[in-house]
């Protein structure tokens, strides 16, 4: 009897709390939706009277700048006057964004402008986390809509004919495969730089370096760089159709047939060469699993080169980053593919935005007003940088260095970068212009297309896990090709890469017809 009563009591309590839980959940979600509609209704009226407050993510490479609040105040001075918007920076480091963004959105935190760096928008669109931007752009952003016609700043963010993200306008467009190699090492072996290199040319160079420096591993490829994709893209042209090679590629810029990159002969030859390099000691024995960063390996003289997509600003950027002088050994022609249009960084407006109109107005001002973009990017003139005699070239004020400056963040994510100040004059406007033109003349057929993988999620997860299993060892040459390569290919097929490619091809054909 006693037991019965007790269990009954427990049951009632349990069910009661269950309903309570559901009830409150329902209520709160209803409340929030009604709030949303009211705020949308009254949004326009309020905007004219009250200053709209928006929250914007401020991306860092790890450390939040000490003077962020000062810059925020300076930004607000401009924006309050011009568009009556007040902005609040929310600092976050790039690696954190991968997990933090979805947590913020699920918990309903106010974010009005969110910078999606290097993670695309499709996952967010699939879970309905982002607002479509078309209407907001036409209503609030005249500068952006003008720029959209000239530059591919929304490519890769269009899902179901709706725009979800806007990337900054870059210095230049297109890319070029290359191997970045330390200048001093190259000079030592007395090689004159050619216009273009084949894979086999590097074998000679590496051999000469190895002879001079027996302890050095000339080719600096490490497993963490290739676990999700491939380093083949640095030595040949393959358009990955707005995704990674997991959903097939177009080989070269003329093709319209999507193929499995990993099955192609070019790719096999590439792996074979890399394996030869590994066996000859040109690649670190631990390359597949090492945790060391390229910076460490370069500064300790373990490696002296690494593959990189070449652009005019690449060498000065790498020189600041790694503290060595570099030469780019070019491996391909300039090209322009579905991925090159923008840097993979997009401004988006999540559904937790309280004021999408104000957010879009602010974004527009960032593209329109280069003073604002410069302020957000480089800080306050006189405090964080000073102008030099050369136009657009800036430098640190006396006594300030990159380490002691209260605001030095090289991530260029803001507005129209062509009008931004730079720290080195190596990249003239002219060089950028020629580079873009060269690239544009070698355009992939898939520019503007991006694959919507919604129906293939399970296959892609399986394919990605096969890739992260095999690529780090295959692409560093650490394993025997004859036994492991066939295993890799059949694992990819088991994972369903052929279905994904067929699905991709069908979408691509439809898209081609519409063009």
Partner 1 sequence: MVKKKKSFRWKNALPVYALMLPGILYFLINNYLPMFGMIIAFKKLNFRDGILKSPWCGLDNFKFLFSQGNTALIMTRNTILYNIVFIILGIIIPITVAILLNEVQQKIASRIYQTLILLPFLMSWVVVSYLAYAFLSGETGFINATILPFFGINQSISFYQQQKYWPFILVFTNQWKSLGFGTVIYLASVIGISPEFYEAAQIDGASKWKQITNITLPCLKPTIITLTILNIGRIFYSDFGLFYQVPKNSGMLYNVTQTIDTYVYNALMNQNNISMSAAACVFQSIVGAALVVISNQIIRKLSKENALF
Which residues contribute to the site for partner 1 (CB under 8 A)? 1-2, 5-6, 10, 13-14, 17-18, 21-22, 25-26, 29, 98-99, 101-102, 105-106, 119, 123-124, 127-129, 227-228, 284-286, 288-289, 291, 351, 457-459, 461-462, 464-466, 468-473, 478-479, 484, 491, 494-496
Least separation in angstroms between CB 460 and partner 1: 9
Least separation in angstroms between CB 150 and partner 1: 32
- CB count in 10 Å sphere of residue 196: 13
* CB closer to partner 1 out of 118 and 323: 118
Is residue 260 helix, strand or coil?
coil
Least separation in angstroms between CB 12 and partner 1: 12
* CB closer to partner 1 out of 116 and 332: 116
**In the block, which residue shows the tokens 């060469």?**
273
* CB closer to partner 1 out of 64 and 494: 494
H or E segment to which residue 242 belongs: none
* CB closer to partner 1 out of 15 and 428: 15
Least separation in angstroms between CB 495 and partner 1: 5
What is 111-150 written as a DSSP string?
-SBEEEESS-SHHHHHTT-B---HHHHHHH-HHHHHHHHH
* CB closer to partner 1 out of 143 and 464: 464
* CB closer to partner 1 out of 17 and 198: 17
* CB closer to partner 1 out of 122 and 342: 122
Least separation in angstroms between CB 107 and partner 1: 10
Helix (H), strand (E), coil (C) string for 395-463? ECCCCCCCCCCCCCCCCCCCCEHHHCCECCCCCCHHHHHHHHHHHHCCECCCCCCCCCCHHHHHHHHHH
Q: By the 8 A CB rule, do 177 and 332 touch? A: yes
Q: Which residues contact 165 (CB under 8 A, 6 or more apart)?
A: 116, 121, 130, 133, 154, 156, 157, 346, 347, 348
Query: DSSP assignment, residue 108?
Result: T
Q: Which residues contact 78 (CB under 8 A, 6 or more apart)?
A: 365, 369, 371, 372, 375
Phi, psi values for residue 57, rounded to 5°: -75, 135
Least separation in angstroms between CB 458 and partner 1: 5
Identify the burial level of 130 via C-beta atoms within 10 angstroms of its C-beta, where 0-12 means exposed, 13-18 middle and 19 or more buried: buried
Structure tokens at 212: 């001079």
* CB closer to partner 1 out of 51 and 123: 123
Least separation in angstroms between CB 383 and partner 1: 38
Least separation in angstroms between CB 359 and partner 1: 17
């Amino acid at each position: 009897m006693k037991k019965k009563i007790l269990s009954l009591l427990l049951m009632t309590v349990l069910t009661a709390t269950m309903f309570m839980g559901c009830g409150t959940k329902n209520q709160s979600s209803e409340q929030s939706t009604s709030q949303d509609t009211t705020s949308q209704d009254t949004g326009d009226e309020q905007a004219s009277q009250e200053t709209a407050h928006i929250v914007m993510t401020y991306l860092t490479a790890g450390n939040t700048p000490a003077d962020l609040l000062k810059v925020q105040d300076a930004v607000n001075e401009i924006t309050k006057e011009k568009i009556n918007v007040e902005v609040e920076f929310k600092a976050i480091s790039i690696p954190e964004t991968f997990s933090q963004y979805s947590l913020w959105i699920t918990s309903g935190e106010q974010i009005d402008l969110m910078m999606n760096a290097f993670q695309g928008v499709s996952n967010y669109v699939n879970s309905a986390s982002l607002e479509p931007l078309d209407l907001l752009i036409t209503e609030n952003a005249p500068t952006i809509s003008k720029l959209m016609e000239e530059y591919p700043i929304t490519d890769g963010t269009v899902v179901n004919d709706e725009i979800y993200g806007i990337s900054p306008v870059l210095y230049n467009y297109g890319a070029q495969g290359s191997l970045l190699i330390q200048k001093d090492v190259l000079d030592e072996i007395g090689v004159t730089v050619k216009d273009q290199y084949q894979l086999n040319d590097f074998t000679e160079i590496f051999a000469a370096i190895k002879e001079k420096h027996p302890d050095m591993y000339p080719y600096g490829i490490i497993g963490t760089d290739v676990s999700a994709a491939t380093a083949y893209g640095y030595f040949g042209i393959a358009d990955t159709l707005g995704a990674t090679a997991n959903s097939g590629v177009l080989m070269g810029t003329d093709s319209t047939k999507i193929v499995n990159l990993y099955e192609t002969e070019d790719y096999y030859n590439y792996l074979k060469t890399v394996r030869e390099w590994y066996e000859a000691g040109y690649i670190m024995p631990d390359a597949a699993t090492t945790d060391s960063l390229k910076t460490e390996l370069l500064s300790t003289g373990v490696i002296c080169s690494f593959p990189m997509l070449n652009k005019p600003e690449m060498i000065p950027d790498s020189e600041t980053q790694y503290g060595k002088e570099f030469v780019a050994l070019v491996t391909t022609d300039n090209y322009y593919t579905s991925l090159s249009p923008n840097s993979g960084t997009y401004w988006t407006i999540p559904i937790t935005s309280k004021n999408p109109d104000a957010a879009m107005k602010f974004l527009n001002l960032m593209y329109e007003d280069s003073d604002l973009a410069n302020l957000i990017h480089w800080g306050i003139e006189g405090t964080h940088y000073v102008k030099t005699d050369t136009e657009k070239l800036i430098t640190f004020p006396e006594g300030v260095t990159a380490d002691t400056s209260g605001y030095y963040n090289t991530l260029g994510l803001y507005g129209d970068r062509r009008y931004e100040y730079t720290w080195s004059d190596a990249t003239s406007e002219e060089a950028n212009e020629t580079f873009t033109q060269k690239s544009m003349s070698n355009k992939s057929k898939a520019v503007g297309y991006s694959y919507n993988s919604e129906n293939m999620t399970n296959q892609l997860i399986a394919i990605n896990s096969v890739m992260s299993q095999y690529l780090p060892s295959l692409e560093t040459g650490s394993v025997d090709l004859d036994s492991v390569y066939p295993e890799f290919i059949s694992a990819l097929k088991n994972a369903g890469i052929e279905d994904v490619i067929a699905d991709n091809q069908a979408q691509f054909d439809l898209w081609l017809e519409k063009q």
